[in-house]
Amino acid sequence: MKRRLKVLHFISFAGRSPFFCAVAEHANRDDFEIIVASLSPTGPLLDDMKERGIQTFALDCTRRAQYPRAVFRLAAWLRRERIDVIQTHLFDASLVGLMAARLARTPLSIFTGHHSHEIPLYRRRALLWADCLSSRWLSHHVIAHSVDMKEIFVQYEGVPPEKIAVIPLGFELDRWNPSTAGRERVRTELSLGGKVVFGAVGRMYWIKDYPTLFKAFAPIAAKMRETMLLVVGDGQDREQLERLARELSLEERIIFTGQRSDIVDVLSAVDVFVHPSLAESFGQVIVEALALGKPVVSTDVGVSREIIENGVNGFLVPTGNSAALQEAMEKILRLRDGWEEMGRNGQKRVQGFAVEKIEPAFEAQYVAWLKERRS
């Protein structure tokens, strides 16, 4: 009987993750044994994995002083379990997991670029050096989820291009069907009536650059009383953003919804999706909005340049430029009669991100890299 390849996904925190749920649902279990572990104590992610028959464990680290011991514990486990592939996710888990893999001589160690798009923006040499330790020296290979992310690795961290594979995230697209009933329910709940609604979704912190969006929306709101902006999510900057909305006289025109569990219905309720972020490794919500048939105005970050075509399914703008963002939003308002066609174009464009197409690409890359290292 052929031995299955043992793949460990090692992540910093055990919060719920659609990515790992998709992996668990669509992995080739005949050829691969998937294990998911966290550097942190156990949480919803590991519970979700157990429900899907995936082996899990947690190293229970609550502070960085515990990391050296965690490296040795994990290295011993990797050797004992004869793990073939370790794929690390996020900053802390990558440092700990890749060091452990080196000690254990794990055949293939992979660093995943979920967070590295942010590193150059912090302008902290120690942080950049620590990320380079994972991407350039500790890992055998790197997976970037977008061409933009690959370019960041090459330009800022000096990773050789041939070390990097670009594999996007996969989506269970059947879940992202627009709901007419859901749209009407949310619009009624939020008193949106016949308004034209721009929507933005994401954690409220500086890299998402909501201030630029608010400044772009302010002159549009002054000229067009029927426009509204729906901001979905929460975070450390919410109070500051609510204050900015008041300063721009937008307190009646911007709705802060907080976190929502009915995100499909909320996105169905908006007319145009806007993504003002300064950087993204991928930009999952862009794909989700397109899958729901929404025209998208996005900064040129993450996967946006690969899937948004100006005037076809949305518009791309440079980062941090409120004038350019305002112009694109006004342009898309003038194309209102074409939104339905733009939505259909977007839905067609994201069909290639179906998880049943993407997951085999990860598995094929594991096999290819293992063969390369063993030859």
- Condensed to tens digits (0 to 9), the pLDDT of residues 44-76 reads 999 999 999 999 999 999 999 999 999 999 999
Q: Residue 113: count other Cβ atoms within 10 Å of its Cβ.
A: 27
Q: What would the two tokens of residue 250 be?
A: 């937008």
Residue 1 is predicted with a pLDDT of: 65
Residue 308 is predicted with a pLDDT of: 98
d(CA 18, CA 22): 6
Question: For residue 95, how many C-alpha atoms fall within 13 Å in the half-sphere facing its CB?
Answer: 16
Mean pLDDT of the 15-39 span? 93
3-state secondary structure of 173: helix
Beta strand extents in the chain (DSSP E only): 5-11, 32-38, 55-58, 85-89, 108-112, 141-144, 164-166, 196-201, 227-232, 254-258, 272-275, 296-299, 314-317
- Condensed to tens digits (0 to 9), the pLDDT of residues 141-190 reads 999 999 999 999 999 999 999 999 999 999 999 989 998 999 999 999 99
First to last CA, the chain: 23
Q: What would the two tokens of residue 46 be?
A: 């590991």
| Category of 95 on φ-ψ map: left (φ > 0), alpha (ψ -120 to 50) or beta | alpha
Answer yes or no: is pLDDT of 255 > 80. Answer: yes
Residues in the chain: 375
Mean pLDDT of the 26-44 span? 96
Element (H, E) at 330: helix 322-334
CB 338 within 8 A of CB 296: no
Please name each of the domains of the chain with its CATH number: 5-170+354-374 (3.40.50.2000), 173-353 (3.40.50.2000)
Residue 122 is predicted with a pLDDT of: 84
Band (pLDDT 50/70/90 cuts) for residue 375 is confident
Band (pLDDT 50/70/90 cuts) for residue 288 is very high
Query: Computed over its alpha carbons, how large is the radius of gyration of the chain?
Result: 22
Q: What angle is formed at CA 283 by the lines to CA 277 and CA 288, rounded to 5 degrees?
A: 120
Residue 147 is predicted with a pLDDT of: 96
Mean pLDDT of the 86-114 span? 97
DSSP codes, 149-165: HHHHHHHHH---GGGEE
Distance of CA 8 to the CA centre of its chain: 20
- Condensed to tens digits (0 to 9), the pLDDT of residues 103-152 reads 999 999 999 998 878 888 887 888 899 999 999 999 999 999 999 999 99
- List the one residue out of 45, 96, 46 whose CA is nearest residue 66: 96
The least confident of 94-98, 112-116, 213-217 is 112-116
d(CA 104, CA 109): 11
d(CA 14, CA 284): 19
CB 200 within 8 A of CB 229: yes
